[in-house]
Chain A
Amino acid sequence: MAEGSNKTYKVPIGPVHVGLKEPITAWLDVDGERIKDATIRPGAIHRGIEFMARDRNPIQIIYLAERICGICSFTHIMAFVRAVEDAAKIEVPARAQYIRTLVLELERIHSHILWAGVACYTFGYDSAFHLGMILREKVMDVLEALTGNRVNYGTGTVGGVRRDITPPVEKAIREMIDLYRNEFGIFYDVVTQDHIAKARMRNVGVLSREDAVTHCALGPTARGSGLRVDLRWSSPYEAYCDMDIKPLVPQDHTGEVYGDVFDRFLVRVLEVYQSIDILENILGGLPSGDLMWEPKLPKLLNYLKQADGIGWGIIEGPRGDDTHAVKLTAGQENITWWKVRAPTYANAVSWPIMFRENDLADSPLIINSIDPCISCMERMVVTDRSSGAEQVVTKADLIERCRDKTRRMMGS
């Protein structure tokens, strides 16, 4: 397909793959290899979780909320639990707040390393991907030691947490901190110092600061565009109230903002170091005391049944702020309604802007750069509307195109 023929073709990317958590379809208008415009169509696997929740009490919903996302499951239950605590006016013991913060940061580390590794894999830098995956295993081990699980931790509850930091867990966390202090720098260097990796990410998928503001971009996507947004800073909650956390923006490190995939990469890998510092602060200042506001479940449920009002909980998750709102009605055991706004819901609005005037081969990287699920790319259909011909391009083909571009740039 030659460029400049003034003929655009529609290329759908997505929507579903068996391993997806956030399936999304992107319809790309392409002229040759250039993307002219994009339309996003989510909803391929809308599960009606908010509708299901109408028949459940707040404690049951914790387990439903945990299954919204496999990566930031704790972020979702914390946003939900804080919304319930807001509506029912529940005070959480300080020790429980610290343990919540600790799990949130562990989750951020594993999510960011996973993302950074997968980003390298997308443009064919497999050795960096493998290095990232090896490093990520350590934080997964720590999460397993603390909660018994690698994915859904079952650790948070209304009014507190269900797991304590025992001496062996503390030892495991400190070992992890040492490992990352010594080893994560290697991963950071092999990617940021690599000319090809930088060339593949620099000036690709640019989102300007203005567009990030108006399109309500969140988390590393917004920070990559130079916007100082971080709920841990602008609305401190839990143990973040005791720590002065600064939003990480590229201009503070490189002196300039491009708002491209590289800046988003930079923000995420630097936040791993920030999270390590936070973990050390938490272990150093862990207060003693109770783990729960009310450990007896029937008593807690009875109290929640009397509560009345709307609660709003927000958490700075690995991908941006996660917003939950919930309505409790006095005399009703079940919640009245519940609304979930995962960060990708907001960040996906910015995709069309990032796609414009980029190469088709960069589309996997751009989709990936806001950190949704790359498995959305399971298949795509290229349609030539003038002849009506259809050709199915598999995920493997698309990744191969993306890697081809790397090879071309390396001159091999």
Chain B
Amino acid sequence: MKPRCADYTDEIMSPEKVLSLLKRKFRKFSDTMELRDYRGGAGTDVGYQTLWVQVEKSKFLDLIDLLRELDFLHFHITSGDDIGEAVQLNYHFSLFRCAGRGKRLGVTVTVDVPKDDLVMPSLWQWIPGIEYSEREIREMFGVDFDGLPNKALIFLPEDWNEDIKPWRRDEAGPKPEDIRELS
């Protein structure tokens, strides 16, 4: 199937409409939703917007499905942190990146992955470009991705002790003796 990628000739949804659609479909999380506006330059009123939303893990795929209906969900990167009880992941996406001047809408989806069940559904089957990032999150945080075919290490060396998850802040993270200070 051809991926839908809105061209500059296509009609697209405005950021405000995307926000209200999300608020309607995911009412429970509407408090977490935020639309940020960026303006620059000396005089014009041109810029772009980004949308921020946080959902529970069980609703993550529903949200992705909804976003995928609007346009091809271009993936930038997954960032994250160990926040104690959970590993918090932020998926940074773009909608409408080919749709015109100032039309791109950045979308950040935040989801907490509880530490007693460190598994997320993989988005690889819809967005093959996500492969490296899922492999990175897997080796750095120990979050597994259900449906990702290649789970080999990507940035860590072949002889890495895989029990150590470099970005974790708990007992799974690197201990002081694992860290070599360069000074």
Contact B106 A94 (CB under 8 A): no
Contact B3 A339 (CB under 8 A): no
Contact B76 A314 (CB under 8 A): yes
Contact A339 B48 (CB under 8 A): no
Residue from the list A234, A241, A312 in contact with B97, Cβ < 8 A:
A234
Residue from the list A50, A241, A285, A325 in contact with B47, Cβ < 8 A:
A241
Bound-state CA distance A363–B96 (Å) is 33
Contact A237 B77 (CB under 8 A): no
Report the interface size class on chain B: 35 or more
Q: A43-B157, A339-B79 are in contact. Are A51 and B166 (CB under 8 A)?
A: yes
A41 CB–B CB distance under 8 Å: yes
B101 CB–A CB distance under 8 Å: yes
Bound-state CA distance A216–B35 (Å) is 24
Residue of chain A at shortest CB distance from B43? A242
Bound-state CA distance A310–B90 (Å) is 10
Contact A312 B75 (CB under 8 A): no
Contact B153 A233 (CB under 8 A): no
Query: Interface readout for B100-139 with A: 1 if CB under 8 Å, 0 if not?
Result: 1111101010000000000000000001111111000000
Bound-state CA distance A51–B182 (Å) is 13
Counting chain A CB atoms within 10 Å of each CB, the highest count among B8, B102, B128, B129 belongs to: B129
User: Residues of B contacting A346 with CB < 8 Å?
Assistant: 76, 129, 132
A21-57 residues at the B interface, CB under 8 angstroms:
41-43, 46, 48, 50-51
Residue from the list A236, A237, A285, A323 in contact with B92, Cβ < 8 A:
A323
B57 CB–A CB distance under 8 Å: no
B7 CB–A CB distance under 8 Å: yes
Bound-state CA distance A348–B48 (Å) is 27
Contact B72 A241 (CB under 8 A): no
User: Residues of A contacting B39 with CB < 8 Å?
Assistant: 241
Contact B44 A349 (CB under 8 A): no
Smallest CB separation, A313 vs chain B (Å): 10
Count residues of A near B (Cβ-Cβ below 8 Å).
Answer: 50
Contact B2 A238 (CB under 8 A): no
Bound-state CA distance A227–B3 (Å) is 13
Bound-state CA distance A312–B52 (Å) is 11
A226-253 residues at the B interface, CB under 8 angstroms:
227-229, 231, 233-242, 244
Query: Interface readout for A319-341 with B: 1 if CB under 8 Å, 0 if not?
Result: 00101010100000000110101
User: Residues of B contacting A217 with CB < 8 Å?
Assistant: 129
Smallest CB separation, A68 vs chain B (Å): 14
Smallest CB separation, A221 vs chain B (Å): 12
Residue from the list B41, B74, B79, B96 in contact with A325, Cβ < 8 A:
B79
Q: List 23 A-B contacts (CB under 8 A).
A: A41-B154, A43-B156, A46-B156, A51-B166, A86-B36, A97-B41, A97-B42, A98-B42, A210-B3, A233-B101, A234-B102, A235-B47, A235-B48, A237-B38, A241-B39, A241-B41, A241-B44, A242-B44, A312-B92, A312-B108, A325-B77, A327-B79, A336-B81
Q: A239-B40, A314-B76, A323-B92 are in contact. List 6 more A-B contacts (CB 8 A).
A: A51-B166, A227-B98, A234-B101, A236-B40, A310-B52, A339-B80
